[in-house]
Amino acid sequence: MDMIIGILLLLTFIAFIIYAVKGGNMMIGFLVMAIIWTALGIIGGEITWADAQTQIFQGGPESWGATAVVVIFGSWFGQVLVKTGIASKIIKLAVELGGDKPLITTILISIVTSLIFTSTFGAGAVVAIGVIVLPILLSLGVPKALAVSSYLMSVGSGMYVNIVLFKQMQGIFEGFQYDSNYLKFGFTAMAIQLLVVIIMLAVRLRKTKVSHAWAATATNTPTEENVPGIALITPVLPVILAIVFKWQPIPAFIVASFYALFVCGKIKSYKDCEKVISKTFYDGVVDVASLLGFLFILPMFNKVAGFDSVFFQSILGGIMPSSTLLLCVLFAVIAPLGLFRGPLTVFGAGAATLGILNGMGIFSAELLFPLIYIPTITMNISCCPTQSWNLWAINYSKTNTKDFLRSGVIWGWIICAINSVVVYFMYGM
């Protein structure tokens, strides 16, 4: 019976991968998968009706309540950075520092973007900063596909240490902490992705002619003129508070947000305070509304995958790699499967892959966490057109999707391969 149930689970998993690759709604997909796998688990005798109600469909979403709150506060912080003009000011300063050298300017913009997204989160923030960055890059003469890829991969590099994204993954790996043990990998992976982006720009822009049209784009707006120098540290404040002073993410976001609003003169009276906080918080919640729905459905599937792991063990136990080296090499080789919501991205069919690997008990969470993080961030978040803000950037710049994939995927694959090796030496030996 275990073998039959295992085969049925594997077949539904393959069907789900096909559904994800074809662009199916992932929230609905995971809900259907949770129902099917629960039914199969009940038939196989591993799940009771009480388990299904209390631990899977009730306990699953409840277990990610804390994560959802962190996502909301992180998105609010992103809105504050945009509305105060801080993000825009930092980008424009990088442009001015780069002068009339397109390569230097694009590199500086990539570095600044990466730093901003070490703490900022949300599609709204990516879009708001993108409407500043992309016109500048395009007016410098950077090819459209390269401009989009360099911006989005810079966003992705910062995500390796972004505490909001980390909290989402932490909901899958209970007990895994945002501490020095993870951050030694996080900052290394961030640096590697940023370095490869710089190399990509250097290779692709070495023959690009200088354009001075950016000067018209880089003029300050009234909002930016109200941003003092001391406000420019705001994007990294939550990270500093979390790492150096061991603050929890929500207090860190609150302090950083109020700091930004205060030094930028957005809080001059109680009425001003009430208005700006209500507006930015509302926009932040709207920005991540669809993500929250996904986050409440995904843990249902994660829970049932744990219950059904015994069935996968019966059919995959003999063929799954038991060596950490082989697993890291496998992830490096098949990293492009993180594209199109495939089996190597957590925000797609990868959550099922992770549930299988995690449930089999062969590999530690310390290894699996960063290993699945790599294609999720570098392939899905940074290079895949199915990611919401990536699709926005493609449409905004009028870039052909095929050109976008050709521009970034090979470099993303290189990043994944290097970071998979890093994971092995840090956690697999």
Q: Give the pLDDT confidence of 229-282 residue by residue, as tens digits.
A: 999 999 899 989 988 888 888 999 999 999 999 999 888 888 888 899 999 999
Instruction: Average the pLDDT over 199-204 and give the result.
Output: 93
Q: Give the pLDDT confidence of 104-117 residue by residue, as tens digits.
A: 889 999 999 999 99
DSSP string, 56-110: IIIHHHHHTHHHHHHHHHHHHHHHHHHHHTHHHHHHHHHHHHHTT-HHHHHHHHH
From residue 99, how far is each of 95, 134, 229 by CA, in Å? 7, 17, 20
Query: So what's the pLDDT on residue 94?
Result: 85
**pLDDT at 86 > cutoff 70:** yes
> Could you tell me which residue, 217 or 12, shows the higher pLDDT?
12
Query: So what's the pLDDT on residue 107?
Result: 93
215 pLDDT band (50/70/90 cuts)?
very low
For the chain, give the percent of residues with pLDDT over 90: 39
Task: Determine the Cα–Cα distance for residues 105 and 98; give it in Å rounded to an integer.
Answer: 4
What is the CB neighbour count within 10 angstroms for residue 338?
32
Query: So what's the pLDDT on residue 197?
Result: 96
DSSP string, 36-49: HHHHHHHHTTS--H
For the chain, give the percent of residues with pLDDT over 70: 92
Task: Determine the Cα–Cα distance for residues 377 and 154; give it in Å rounded to an integer.
Answer: 11
Provide the number of structural domains found in the chain: 1
Task: Determine the Cα–Cα distance for residues 142 and 109; give it in Å rounded to an integer.
Answer: 13
- Please state which of the ranges 300-314, 376-390, 392-406, 415-429 shows the lowest mean pLDDT: 300-314
Instruction: Average the pLDDT over 362-368 and give the result.
Output: 84
The token duo for 400 is 């052909």
Q: Among candidates 220, 291, 222, which has minimal Cα distance to 78? A: 291
140 pLDDT band (50/70/90 cuts)?
confident
Residue span of the structural domain in which 406 resides: 2-428
The token duo for 300 is 């249902």
What is the CB neighbour count within 10 angstroms for residue 212?
10
